[in-house]
Amino acid sequence: MTAKTIVLTTAALVGFASNSLLCRAALSDGAIDAASFTLVRLASGAVVLAVLARSWRRAADGASDGSWTAAAALFGYAIAFSLAYLRLDAGAGALILFGCVQLTMFAWGLRRGERLRPVQWIGFFAAVGGLVALNLPGLKAPDPIGALLMASAGVAWGVYSLLGRGCQRPLAATASNFARGVPFALAAAGAAMTFSRPHAELRGLVLAATSGALASGVGYSLWYAALRELSATRAAIVQLSVPVLTASGAALVLGEPPSARTVGAGATILAGVALALAFRAQAVPRQTLE
């Protein structure tokens, strides 16, 4: 990789990890409610991505690259992500999210007829075993409802990624999907008002806007630029660093040191995914990563 690609990749991965840290920081002390965080995140991300897409695309109709189906999957990820971080530490949440994204995409490949090599099956089951071990009942187990919500977020993001395979203008499509996701977020915020009163302090609004505009909007843009020189396998493998970056940031910034269970299960999950990605499967369908 060139120095430019290394810088772009590193900045994008930091952005991915920052989404977890910003969301957890905003929600852990009640600075904003989950529905409002999701709405502000998607709206601010839509604005930044629209500006970037308009300045980079050649055709004037780039917004049509998105779809309501993809926007629904994006919203499903975003709202489940926010709700999960009401209950989970940043590090554990990132591990569950990352593991479920990759397992969803592996499962889709199997459904489409992809045949894994024996060493890839070992990695696959190691990753599944790590997720199970992380969530087994016990003193240090993540909150079960939070874990289920984050797993749902991972599946939704995996579906969103699969829907974007083969997209000719991913930045324009993402801008469109973020914009289409805003009405879903508005509906969720309205529904939340029937159960509780929405609240948002200035700090919570700033964190949500930063998550949408910088960590998501700019972060995704940098990632697309880096992907021009990254193979699909290498792009997937470098994303193994995201849960590590998140856990490190959570310990340093949020005061959430990972438990021994999180470290052990996380190492198993990441090693399993790395093993599954390190070898080329037979009849591999091309996949778009986050």
User: pLDDT for 86-107, tens place per residue?
Assistant: 999 998 899 899 888 888 877 8
Instruction: Please give the pLDDT value at position 17.
Output: 92
Q: Would residue 282 be called left, alpha or beta, if left means φ above 0 and alpha means ψ between -120 and 50 degrees?
A: beta
CB 30 within 8 A of CB 199: yes
Give the residue with greater pLDDT, 286 vs 244. 244
Report the half-sphere exposure of 123 (CA within 13 A, side-chain side).
Answer: 21
Instruction: Please give the pLDDT value at position 232.
Output: 62
CA–CA distance, 44 with 106 (Å, rounded to integer): 32
Could you give the angle at which helices 34-56 and 68-84 cross, rounded to 10 degrees? 140
Give the residue with greater pLDDT, 279 vs 117. 117
CB 45 within 8 A of CB 217: yes
Residue 288 banded pLDDT, cuts 50, 70, 90: very low
For the cut 90, the answer to whether the pLDDT of residue 41 exceeds it is: yes
- Other C-beta atoms within 10 Å of 204: how many? 21
Domain boundaries, the chain: 3-277
Instruction: Please give the pLDDT value at position 132.
Output: 81
For the cut 90, the answer to whether the pLDDT of residue 47 exceeds it is: yes
Residue 184 banded pLDDT, cuts 50, 70, 90: very high
- Token pair listed for 171: 């930045």
CA–CA distance, 18 with 14 (Å, rounded to integer): 6
CB 254 within 8 A of CB 55: no
Residue 62 banded pLDDT, cuts 50, 70, 90: very low
- Measuring CA to CA, how many Å separate 127 from each of 107, 118, 186, 268, 272? 13, 14, 36, 6, 5
Least confident of 103-107, 110-114, 121-125, 261-265: 110-114
Residue 280 banded pLDDT, cuts 50, 70, 90: low
Residue 60 banded pLDDT, cuts 50, 70, 90: very low
Q: Can you list the alpha helix ranges (DSSP code H) found in the chain?
A: 3-28, 34-56, 68-84, 90-111, 118-135, 144-163, 170-192, 202-210, 219-226, 232-238, 241-249, 260-277
* Residue 282 DSSP SS3: strand
* Residue 30 DSSP SS3: coil
For the cut 50, the answer to whether the pLDDT of residue 234 exceeds it is: yes
Residue 137 banded pLDDT, cuts 50, 70, 90: low
